[in-house]
Amino acid sequence: MENLTPKKIVEELDKFIIGQEQAKKAVAIALRNRYRRQLLPKELRDEVLPKNILMIGPTGVGKTEIARRLARLVNAPFVKVEASKFTEVGYVGRDVESIIRDITEIAMNMIKQEHTKRVQEKAKQMAEERVLDILLPQPGYSKESDVTEEKSSYKETREKLRKQLREGVLDDRYIEVDLKEKVVPFGIISNVAMEEIEINLKEMLGSFLPEKVKRKKVKISEALTLFTQEEAGKLIDMEKVTKEAIERVEQTGIVFIDEIDKIASRGSSYGPDVSREGVQRDLLPIVEGSTVTTKYGPVRTDHILFIAAGAFHIAKPSDLVPELQGRFPIRVELSSLGKEEFIRILTEPDNALIKQYIALLATEGVEIEFTPDAIAEIAEISQEVNEKTENIGARRLHTVMEKLLEDISFNASDLKGQKIIIDARMVRDKLNEILKSEDLSRYIL
């Protein structure tokens, strides 16, 4: 994190997101301030609160992607929620505290994976020994005089089996294994819809639940995987994992609240507006800083970074309740995307769409090449459809590309070894009929 200066953060985001410099700059500063805060004396550190960000801009311009890539950059727990999910007419909205429970669950999985990686080698060795014990049980020695000889022979055979095991020679051979699993007693969970409750009960009650040994016939390759998971689970200190996960959420968690404009009230004192304002009031405590009870323990939200986003076509940021507005002091506007941006999106990022399709079809032995005029044509068509129908930003490129390459993708296995050049004429021929009809454009592109 020390080397991750705001400039460096923007450079990293540039690899995946085209344009939107103002938004990238704002999130880069917010992220760097987290690092700076950690260097402060403890008494001052607790007083420095994150400067939450409000992103204003139409759909498909990179709001979510900026926040998600930012979290990945520093391996921070990240959760995206739609504000509108917390208030739906005729339904009971979700409890806003579930946002913190969700991000804590994500952090738990992250830390668990990190700890599992650290013990993976040891777990593999232990799993290997368990498989060898099944393949070649420890012998009972007949006479005292034969012990040394028998031990030597047993050791030699075991090492031969180990070599075959590591080389994969024994992978398809079946063995019987005993697997332990936690059981929720009294058969209280029988309905398939209750599976999640059962999983949660198992996680919460953990060591208090009785274990059931299940005998199963599996391939050796599968047995190795199962045993490795089992042994890794034994080697991990879950208390440490939980403590680390809560700390990571509290210090580095990023919550992205999308469609915040959908809960902005527009002045009426009855109907949906009351419900919208109610959601804003519910969000206030967690954004301001409070303690939320999760199944892993209490989680403080004071230093979680909240990034809210919305198109604000009808409502305005000033329609949010004043207290919530005050909790998002940094406002950035993201601009709509046009032909030039689409050309860059198609070609420049590390995960550019053109690169993705070339790689996907190469797996079938089909080489495709896009000429510069083809790329320009795709960008122009995408812009045109966005103007004529709904403007969904860069997401339009996905629908246009899918339609353009539909036949090549379908017939790829028959085109093995061929090279296909996609030029502007081919793009027009494939998409012109759809473009002529606004109704077709609306439903197909």
Is 188's pLDDT higher than 70? Answer: no
Contact status, residue 286 vs residue 257, Cβ threshold 8 Å: no
Q: Which residues contact 369 (CB under 8 A, 6 or more apart)?
A: 358, 419, 420, 421, 422
* Residue 28: per-residue pLDDT: 93
Q: If pLDDT is split at 50, 70 and 90, which confidence band does 192 have?
A: very low
φ, ψ of residue 82 in degrees (nearest 5)? -95, 120
Q: Which of 90-94, 143-147, 149-153 has the lowest mean pLDDT?
A: 90-94
Amino acid at 24: K
Q: d(Cα 381, Cα 384) in Å, to the nearest integer?
A: 5
Pairing of strands 174-182, 211-219: antiparallel
Is 314's pLDDT higher than 90? Answer: no
Domains (range + CATH), the chain? 6-106+245-333 (3.40.50.300), 119-243 (no CATH), 339-438 (1.10.8.60)
What value does the mean pLDDT take over residues 392-401?
A: 91
| Residues 404-419 pLDDT 10s | 999 999 999 999 999 9
**3-class secondary structure, 201:** helix
Instruction: Please choose, from the candidates 120, 105, 118, the residue with its C-alpha nearest in 3D space to the C-alpha of residue 229.
Output: 120
Q: Which helix (H) or strand (E) holds 294?
A: strand 291-294
Q: d(Cα 58, Cα 68) in Å, to the nearest integer?
A: 17
pTM exceeds 0.85: no
Contact status, residue 23 vs residue 66, Cβ threshold 8 Å: yes
Instruction: Please choose, from the candidates 294, 295, 328, the residue with its C-alpha nearest in 3D space to the C-alpha of residue 49.
Output: 328
Q: d(Cα 129, Cα 114) in Å, to the nearest integer?
A: 24
What value does the mean pLDDT take over residues 326-337?
A: 92
Q: If pLDDT is split at 50, 70 and 90, which confidence band does 193 have?
A: very low
**3-class secondary structure, 82:** strand
* Burial class of residue 97 (count of CB atoms within 10 Å of its CB; 0-12, 13-18, 19+): middle
Q: d(Cα 281, Cα 275) in Å, to the nearest integer?
A: 10
Q: Name which residue leads in pLDDT, 151 or 173.
A: 173
Q: How far apart are the first and last CA of the chain?
A: 42
Is 221's pLDDT higher than 60? Answer: yes
* Residue 91: per-residue pLDDT: 44
**3-class secondary structure, 59:** coil
What value does the mean pLDDT take over residues 347-363?
A: 93
| Residues 286-304 pLDDT 10s | 999 999 999 999 999 999 9
Q: d(Cα 4, Cα 426) in Å, to the nearest integer?
A: 44
Is 94's pLDDT higher than 70? Answer: no
| Residues 30-60 pLDDT 10s | 999 988 998 999 889 888 888 999 999 988 8
Handedness of CA 432, 433, 436, 442 (dihedral sign): negative
* Residue 417: per-residue pLDDT: 92
* Residue 432: per-residue pLDDT: 85
What value does the mean pLDDT take over residues 133-149?
A: 71
Contact status, residue 319 vs residue 67, Cβ threshold 8 Å: no
- Please state the separation of Cα 169 from the chain's center in Å: 36
Q: d(Cα 178, Cα 173) in Å, to the nearest integer?
A: 16
Instruction: Please choose, from the candidates 102, 89, 101, 86, the residue with its C-alpha nearest in 3D space to the C-alpha of residue 281.
Output: 86
Q: Which residues contact 293 (CB under 8 A, 6 or more apart)?
A: 97
Instruction: Please choose, from the candidates 393, 400, 399, the residue with its C-alpha nearest in 3D space to the C-alpha of residue 337.
Output: 393
Alpha helices for 390-437 (secondary structure H): 395-404, 406-411, 424-436
| Residues 235-282 pLDDT 10s | 999 999 999 999 999 999 999 999 999 988 765 555 556 678 888 988
Amino acid at 239: E
Amino acid at 87: T
